[in-house]
Structure 1
Amino acid sequence: MKTLGIRLKELRLEKGLLQTDIAKLLSVSLRQVQRYEKDESDMSLSTAAKLAEYFDVSIDYLTGRSNKRQC
């Protein structure tokens, strides 16, 4: 099962984005995005929801609970 960090990195790279782009989107530091991608830090539900909406995927997909991108 893929983790949130792996999924976040995959989605970011699919769109050709840098970690700094995600940091700006979420209004967090670059280091925080790095922690998310390495699964060193948990993110809030509101942050996960913002990312899911931005990448047009379900929260279950983002967190690795499902392989279906949409509900």
Structure 2
Amino acid sequence: MNEGFPTRLRRLREARRMSRRTLSELCGLSKNMIAVYERGEADPSAATLCLLADHFGVSTDYLLGRSKNF
């Protein structure tokens, strides 16, 4: 099964024991956006995708589920 963005984002966040609200605040997003992304209800902008990838120290390709390598 190929993991997509919502699953990868949730797993990275949970691995760091971080709440959705905390991640939203750290990235300058509205408090509910991480939940929206994790449910697959919206896709992040390119800028937000880069911000999240940088925060977790992974590539955008990994975050999008296009690569198995961080």
Instruction: Specify if TM > 0.5.
Output: yes
Identity percentage of aligned residues: 33
Aligned length: 69
2:6–2:37 CA contact under 8 A, matched in 1:
yes
Q: TM-score, normalised by structure 2?
A: 0.91
Q: Which amino acid aligns with 1:48?
A: L
- Residue of structure 2 equivalent to 1:4: 5
Is residue 29 of structure 1 aligned with residue 30 of structure 2? yes
Unaligned runs of 5+ in 1: none
Per the alignment, in what secondary structure is the counterpart of residue 30 of structure 1?
A: coil
Unaligned runs of 5+ in 2: none
Using the alignment, how far apart are the partners of 1:26 and 1:34 within structure 2?
13
Runs of 4 or more above 4 Å deviation = none
**Following superposition of structure 1 onto structure 2, how do residues 1-71 of structure 1 map, counting pairs within 5 Å?**
1-69=2-70
RMSD of aligned residue pairs (Cα, Å): 0.9
Q: Which amino acid aligns with 2:11?
A: E
Q: TM-score, normalised by structure 1?
A: 0.90
